[in-house]
Amino acid sequence: MKNNIKKYFFSIKYFIVYLIISTSFISCFDIPYNTNIKRELFGKFEGQEIYLYTLTNKNGLTAKITNYGGIVTSILIPDKNGKFEDIVLGFDNIEDYLKGHPHFGCIVGRYANRIAKAKFTVNNIEYKLNANDGENILHGGNKGFHTVIWDSEEIKNKNEKGLKLTYLSKNGEEGFPGDLYVTVIYTLTNNNELKINYEANIDKPCPVNLTHHSYFNLAGAGKTDILNHEIKINANKYTVVNEKFIPTGELKDVKETDMEFTSYRKIGERINNINSEYFYSGYDHNYILSKKDKKLSLAAQVYESVSGRKMEVYTTEPCIQFYTGNFLDGSIVGKNNYVYKKHFGFCIEAQHYPDSPNHSEFPSTILYPGKKYKQTTIYKFLIKK
């Protein structure tokens, strides 16, 4: 009997040793994955620490993201010759971001684009917002989501690396009602996709319209303009706006106009025709995607022939804002001391219609208590040789 007990404990002992060795062995193979997300101190703001996270997939693609504003500070991808370059505009340090910038790479909220006269009405209650664009409010106001420090958490899975950001936008922030709980997850997949998942819930009815605002240049950020990039947008209509960039309510067909990108066209081919006090020589328009549901679908494709880089944009949202950096004027010095001039970057911002809270004919953006806001947008990077 005693011998049997000894044999039993002897077996248990060696089983435990086996588990320890096996776990260590497996961990050795997990090291490449675990080291593919790195956190470093990026700076401080109002006594809070700001971090910079570096995500790298198995193909060597790298995305750098800070929890200040959820800003994507850098995306490194190869060209057709295998040379890696940064393709998003931004800064080398947190101090330049803190000085203010034209929404480089950030999360935009509570409401992307504009709300006319900085007010809206829900359930017969009028809410006055903090105007920051003349009499209107743009991209959530002066203290939009692009200026706050988000709580951050690393996500480490075998096939993808990610960053989870959370933020509580309190009742009354920039005039918006309700406590809004927001989660944004950035994931860099091994399919060379930067995937952005948004979720939010609230305790009072309020319009919610979130987006991402990177300025892309597939030739390399800051090296040249984007006018020779070719773009295709899966949209047949756009929202007409007035001189303040506020929708008139009219939805106009793009067919056979300078607004049409249903097949590949160079961005600069007709850009000077979009030249008035309204648009300052460039595109800054909300395109209504040709889709009937909220499923993830291809919204736009952009190709730069010299580098061979191509980007595809997928989204669950009904619209995208196509913006060609019209207000970049050479006054901003960015990464590597590059001067950001007019048309040096383009934005494809997945969103709902601008000013929809004041247009009953547009799809509603009101988020109600008990309901969940959900959105997914993917920027996929490819090489076309």
Residues 6+ apart with CB under 8 A from 368: 202, 205
Distance CA 197, CA 188 (A): 12
Residues β-bridged to residue 304? 309
Phi-psi region of 251 (alpha: psi -120 to 50; beta: other; left: phi over 0): beta
Tell me 69's DSSP state: T
DSSP strands (E only) in 190-255: 193-202, 206-207, 211-212, 230-233, 235-241, 247-253
In 3D, which of 300, 285, 292 has the Cα closest to residue 251? Answer: 285
Strand 119-122 relative to strand 125-128, pairing: antiparallel
* Residues belonging to the chain: 385
The residues assigned a catalytic role are 213, 349
Contact 246, 115 (CB under 8 A): no
Distance CA 314, CA 297 (A): 5
DSSP conformation letters of 91-105: -SSHHHHHT--S-TT
| Cα four-point dihedral sign 100, 101, 103, 107 | negative
DSSP strands (E only) in 7-71: 37-45, 48-56, 62-66
Distance CA 116, CA 126 (A): 13
| Amino acid in position 185 | I
Tell me 88's DSSP state: B
Contact 205, 160 (CB under 8 A): no
H/E run at residue 6: helix 2-34
Angle of CA points 357, 361, 362, to nearest 5° = 55
